[in-house]
């Protein structure tokens, strides 16, 4: 499914009642476009994404994000990723609330390996569900917002938009 959003067109791939991948504007995938969607579920996902993007305050964005996560990440869901990446994704979703940020090192510690900040960076670049698994909330400890999934200026613009939309004060980020 294609969604026209304030950050550009994103594509959401659904298989049955699972969101399996989200492509941000300009990204490519190896996933076949012929996947089987449950149309009722896809309609709910579409509404949940638009509620997130259309939220008019940080409080409403937080509620919309929570609903999106509950719909798209079942409690028993395992990502098709290495175990450490799964721990990183779980920690990011469960422990880094909307409107806040975390460093790569802090996220590594939350995921159980405080020396694995670089591995967290790899997990962020391979995140199959950006926005839902909010890799945009992870910032370099050296300052600034950093890149977004390895993308250049456009990726940084998207990251800044998402952070601002969620209520992060970018002026406070050195």
By CB neighbour count within 10 A (0-12 exposed, 13-18 middle, 19+ buried), where does 4 fall? exposed
CA 69 to chain centre: 10
**Residue 139 β-bridge partners:** 103
Q: Which tokens hold the place of 68?
A: 């999106």
Q: Rounded distance, CA 154 to CA 156, Å? A: 5
The verdict on whether 135 is a catalytic residue reads yes
- Look at residues 73, 34, 68 and name the one whose alpha carbon lies nearest to residue 54: 68
- Look at residues 167, 132, 170 and name the one whose alpha carbon lies nearest to residue 61: 167
Q: Rounded distance, CA 5 to CA 21, Å? A: 17
Please pick, among 107, 135, 158, 163, the residue that the annotation labels catalytic: 135
Query: What are the strands, taking DSSP E only, across the chain?
Result: 2-5, 8-15, 18-23, 102-103, 138-139
Active site residues: 135
């Amino acid at each position: 499914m294609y969604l026209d959003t304030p950050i550009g067109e994103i594509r959401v791939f659904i298989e049955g009642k699972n969101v399996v991948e989200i492509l941000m504007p300009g990204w490519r995938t190896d996933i076949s476009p012929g996947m089987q969607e449950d149309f009722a579920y896809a309609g709910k996902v579409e509404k949940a994404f638009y509620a997130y993007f259309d939220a008019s305050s940080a409080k409403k964005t937080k509620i919309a994000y929570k609903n999106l996560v509950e719909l798209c990440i079942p409690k028993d869901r395992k990502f098709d990723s290495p175990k450490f990446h799964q721990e990183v994704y779980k920690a990011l979703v469960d422990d880094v609330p909307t409107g806040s940020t975390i460093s790569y090192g802090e996220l590594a510690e939350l995921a159980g390996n405080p020396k694995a900040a670089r591995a967290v960076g790899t997990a962020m670049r391979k995140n199959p569900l950006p926005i839902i698994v909010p890799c945009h909330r992870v910032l370099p400890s050296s300052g600034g917002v950093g890149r977004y999934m390895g993308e250049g200026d456009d990726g940084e613009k998207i990251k800044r938009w998402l952070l601002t939309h969620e209520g992060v004060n970018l002026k406070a980020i050195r």
